[in-house]
Structure 1
């Protein structure tokens, strides 16, 4: 029974990461909603909060975002072997497809059919990213409040679009602020509880 459970977990990792690698059309950001569905909704390996934290950390590190997420999910479930399996399942199918289609690159790049496919799939990717962004904003609203979310969204927009700051730098700045913010909140709660009557019901 235990062996079959372990084999099933490996199979789930391989199947989930294989699907995200094959169906994640358009690069790393378009794959993230697919990985989130597999990890949070379908298999429940983690909740939305943990997924958001890992996504933020992965964005701050160098390398392809989808591969880093696959490696983390595999390691979280089955250690080093699970991490290796997840990464291979995520990249090998796409690598094989790229090698197989290499001789047709020139034809495909000029094909009206392929261009039509690209145009058709872009709205789907936009909606998937929009839904994921909405859910993250909703969680931020619960944790920080409406005005803090508005201010942070405005700061993010200014840094990314107006000042053209690299996204990794913006993520690191907000991670640093988050650490300071929650420490400050915990300190305020601790001070309040120490006051006379602070723990009275």
Structure 2
């Protein structure tokens, strides 16, 4: 009887260690990308950190449901989007103007590039959510139109149209900004 309980105990311990290793590998591989996406969605570092933490907590709880490791990124993005939606169900947060938020890069970039970088972030942040979200999924995560359609539960043609419009709106906004800068300098 003791021998049988010991075998069960060893198997449970082995299963837990295996799950822990899978989870650690998942966090190591995707934490930075998931946080970056959360920050783009939420635009508040501390709230994004909380949502990412909740995302990985839910991932831990349902790790056994992840059958295909190749789908981990999409799985985590889905969890993150649901966690973000849950925070609106619980409480309405104050909004922060995108002009007040800056994203610091790990490397130091030149002053001119920094200005261009902030200008780009400002214009991306000004896009409507329906255009901004697919653009970020494509630019940050490198998702295809099909993958974005799956993530956002949209038709692929709708996604491609939104990406096209997002890029055009971004291009027009940047051209307008350059014209404004040119008229101030000229």
Is this a same-fold pair by TM over 0.5?
A: no
The higher relative CO (CA closer than 8 Å, separation ≥ 6) is in: 1
TM-score calculated relative to the size of structure 1: 0.28
TM-score calculated relative to the size of structure 2: 0.30
